[in-house]
Structure 1
């Protein structure tokens, strides 16, 4: 049993410690602690002011660089697509500011946007797979005789999948010209366009008014539907799989470029670049949320039209800038790396 003297000694020790602390804090240590705290506050204030100045300088420099890029971009882009007709297709949600920036650069390049459409969720959704199969089956006979730009055979065969059939239908709807009047759309193009609208696969923002010379597929960087929706679905015919097939089919029939934001694993641009076959036929542009990427888009379309396929962006292995339209040397001339196509 602990007696009263033990408690007394403990209490005395506590009070002695408090007394010593009060004496030292009010005496010899008072000045040292105060000076130390004052020095720390002054140091933090100086660091804050320095960081604020550095931020202001960085923002000023970034603004000046942006002005330079925009000015240089106008010289690079101006006239690069003069007289060319471009169809723009939003394959998923693209922000208004990004899309307008790309459209402004196409206009600066001298291109005429002859159609602007958006794919609906029915194009990629697992829930609409039966609808797509039905529509594609009905279109097969119409598309049997399609030949690619490389003249190596029919694009559509008996083994063609639903995404290939739908991709071919959209491409023909946007690019097929009347045999008697190259400036007018063919009857087949109008019919296919009507069917795609009728079955809710596309939404029209600007109705096609002339056959396009090239197709621009714009992506906002979506990675596809939720896993819950696609876990029992065929990844090749839904989500990003359906969009990569669209890109490949479109590129077989006409100059086609895929453009999206800085790449993330699983988005459309990175999926095209990861496909060893598509990367040889489909041009991609990343970073279109920035003015630099927007400037590259019309240059990439022009390069694709002249036969140069490459992957443009600032990611490792990508080419920074397309070659001048019609210039010899392809992507090597633009990048100076001699490595050819980036992946």
Structure 2
């Protein structure tokens, strides 16, 4: 069999595998259950989403774009959602996640970038000091028993609440302190409190083990407010040293929803479906075969 024939077969294999996954997604089939549950199928999904063939990737993006409006319509209708990012997060992936949240009817209250200064453990004492001084009477801070619990608690008080509403003076004070301290950047400043957060992280090489552990600790603190948080990243984020893996192995693993396929268009749709599940009190881990709950929520 010549090389040209092998290339054609390889292309067709990836195309058929990807098409099967996306058709199942469009039909609302939960790939984590039933006859499509086996590991080989999920591995095929990951291989298809990571292919370098531009034709296949264009097909995947186009298909997800056509099916997402039907899949997501009104799933988060009028629900205020905060989007968080970290250094190394893909701007295009964040943009698509925000667009898909819009398709679901969510109100994206704002976008906050956590800086390296808050994620590097060398800056822990400084960040904790900012949290204590700006939120000295805040229960989320005073009641926490560790540094990142206090730091995350202050962020939660600044941007999240059990019910949507205006940001008060305490929230403004915390936001100003964290911004002036270089711990956060308000990419799009929130106008009101969110009840749900989606934290989009980058690949394993961008976060590394140290920052990933901090991200997991901050996510655990944020998850105590409102309806919690979804942590989503590309496939490598669920490998050793990645932020999604750190969350899945962390203290709040069973309470935080995670997704490890944001490097595919369909995976960004799954991120929003994970937010729907989190809001409904049904957290899980979705995406690659390293995800315990299957490819996407039921």
Aligned equivalent of 1:175: 160
- Aligned ranges 1:327-338 → 2 under 5 Å: 334=298
C-alpha displacement of 1:141: 2.4
1:294 is aligned, of 254, 268, 271, to: 268
* TM-fit CA distance, 1:52: 4.3
Structure 1 stretches lacking a partner, 5+ long: 1-45, 147-154, 227-234, 323-333, 335-343
2:221 corresponds to? 249
Distance 1:137 1:96, change over 3 A: closer
Rounded to whole Å, the distance in 2 between the matches of 1:287 and 1:225 is 16
Contact in 1 for aligned 2:119/2:215 (Cα 8 Å): yes
TM-score computed with the length of structure 1 as normaliser? 0.67
Deviation at 1:224, TM superposition (A): 6.7
1:15-71 Cα offsets, whole Å, 9 max, x none, are: xxxxxxxxxxxxxxxxxxxxxxxxxxxxxxx61332343355457655456544443
Asked which structure has the greater RCO (Cα within 8 Å, sep 6+), the reply is 2
CA distance 1:84–1:278, shift in 2 (3 Å): same
Deviations 1:108-128, CA, capped at 9 Å, x for gaps: 111121110111111122442
Corresponding position of 1:231: none
SS at match of 2:2: helix
Asked whether the equivalents of residues 223 and 268 of structure 1 are also in contact (C-alpha less than 8 Å), the reply is no
Deviation at 1:139, TM superposition (A): 4.2
Say whether 1:48 aligns with 2:20: no
Structure 1 residues 224 and 164, CA gap change in structure 2 (3 angstroms)? farther
- Correspondence for 2:94: 99
Structure 1 ranges of 4+ moved more than 6 A: none
For 1:233-276, what per-residue CA distance to the aligned partner results, in whole angstroms no more than 9, with x for missing partners?
xx8xx62222111111111112211111112211111111123x
Rg larger in 1 or in 2?
A: 1
Q: Structure 2: which 5+ runs fail to align?
A: 19-55
- SS of the residue corresponding to residue 198 of structure 2 reads strand
Task: Write out per-residue CA displacement over residues 183-214 of structure 1, whole angstroms, 9 at most, x where no aligned residue.
Answer: 32122111111111111100111011111121
* Mapped contact 1:221–1:264 kept (Cα < 8 A): no
The corresponding residue for 1:215 is: 197
Q: Which residue of 1 aligns with 2:149?
A: 164
Q: Distance in 1 between matches of 2:157 and 2:167?
A: 10
Question: What aligned pairs does 1:23-102 form with structure 2 within 5 A after superposition?
Answer: 47-55=2-10, 57=12, 61=16, 63=56, 67-102=62-97
1:82-231 correspondence to structure 2 within 5 Å: 82-139=77-134, 141-143=136-138, 145-146=139-140, 156-157=142-143, 160-176=145-161, 183-222=165-204
Q: How many pairs align?
A: 254
C-alpha RMSD over aligned residues:
2.6
Partners of 2:171 and 2:119 lie apart in 1 by 22
Deviation by residue 1:265-301 (Cα, 9 ceiling, x = unmatched) = 11111111123x3112111111111012100111111
In the TM superposition, residue 216 of structure 1 has moved relative to its aligned partner by: 0.9
Take 2:205 and 2:15, find their aligned partners in 1: how far apart are those partners? Answer: 35
8 Å contact kept, 1:115–1:207: yes
For normalisation by structure 2, the TM-score amounts to 0.76
